[in-house]
Amino acid sequence: MMKIKLSLSLSLVFALLVGTVPLAAAEVPTVRIEAQALGASVPVEATIEAVRQATLAAQVAGRVLDLRVDAGDRVRAGDLLLSIDAAEAVQAVAGAQAGVAQAEANRIKARADFDRSRSLFERKFISQSGLDQARTALDAAEAQLRAAQAGRGQASTVQGYTRIAAPISGVVSARHVEPGEMAQPGRELVTIHDPAALRAVADVSQQRIAALGGGALKARIELPDSGRWIDATAVTVLPSADARTHTVRVRVDLPLGIEGVVPGSFARVHFVSAERSRLVVPAAAVVRRGELTAVYVADDKGGFSLRQLRLGEALGDGAGAEGGIEVLAGLRGGETIALDPVQAGIFAHGANRR
């Protein structure tokens, strides 16, 4: 008999004593079930999202021109995505530039008037009041020049809003406009996400968070569509709760550069709680007949009897014969069960007929 250590991995699933019970023409493999300290898993539905995502919106009104990207295209930070008709913005810049030129001319004249008034004041040809008026006119002209320069800068900034560039490197998730459509301030244009960094986001009830205990949380992400299981690299519980649903937002980070996962897809996060003593049977040993869930238990006479169980959650990857299922009732530690329920059933049926 050989002892195998219990684990949640696919390669080492159960700490059992493996043996055989004689059969007429074959042998029935068996395992001895022992209680083990294992962590419980709390499954929660979640949604995959990108850690870095940007939805670009129009800041000026105008017709969409030179649309260069579509959904699925890869872009680099700084790449031009589309342009908005800049005719109005160009005219605004030209008007602002003319305003600056006029203000500059007024300032030059006010400076000359002030210098002349100061010379006259020094020779006692004008009063202090006349000199003060010239200084005030100069100050006003300089203020007007600064205002005109600020207006020119604002117009130039608005003109820059007509060229939409990628703020991050990534993939275009969606394109919200078509060439020739009118863009208005606030209208969404393009959405980009970085596929290298993804996370699963789940809203977890406060009771479940409390049940997981304090300290750093651990989790695994299940992707039901593909059957994949991914170990989380970090779990972050946001420090606030939703007042309407009384749930807490939890972010579960996936490894960097994970392939085959896209934002918006469904996922299931399994939070691992503190360890406790549990009985686990191999999934391959479980017999399911309608509403009956049972295993074949070896007796002291070298035979098998079918015993109904009440099962809990699936452990390990939960896929294939190597997965394990927690036993809530119907089995005790130290008992031996058949790993092959088909052979055990044949053996038990033949023994009953005899």
Last residue of a domain, one of 102, 129, 153: 153
Give the domain range for residue 324. Answer: 2-38+276-353
pLDDT tens digits for range 312-344: 766 654 433 356 777 888 777 777 777 777 776
Reported pTM: 0.59
Same-domain pairing of 57 and 21: no
Same-domain pairing of 245 and 204: yes
Same-domain pairing of 74 and 183: yes
Same-domain pairing of 200 and 268: yes
Q: Is the dihedral of CA 96, 102, 106, 112 positive or negative?
A: positive
Same-domain pairing of 102 and 148: yes
**Rounded average pLDDT over 244-251:** 91
**Rounded average pLDDT over 180-195:** 93
d(CA 32, CA 18): 6
How does DSSP classify residue 156?
Answer: H
Q: For the chain, what is the domain count?
A: 4
Which helix H or strand E contains 45, and what residues bound it?
strand 36-50
Q: Mean pLDDT: which of 29-38, 265-274, 282-291, 294-303 is highest?
A: 265-274
Q: Is the dihedral of CA 342, 344, 345, 349 positive or negative?
A: positive
pLDDT tens digits for range 81-134: 999 987 777 788 889 899 999 999 999 999 999 999 999 988 888 889 988 999
For residue 93, which of 140, 33, 161 has the smallest C-alpha distance? 161
Which helix H or strand E contains 343, and what residues bound it?
helix 341-353
Last residue of a domain, one of 273, 291, 320: 273
What 3-state class would DSSP assign to 281?
A: strand
Same-domain pairing of 171 and 105: no
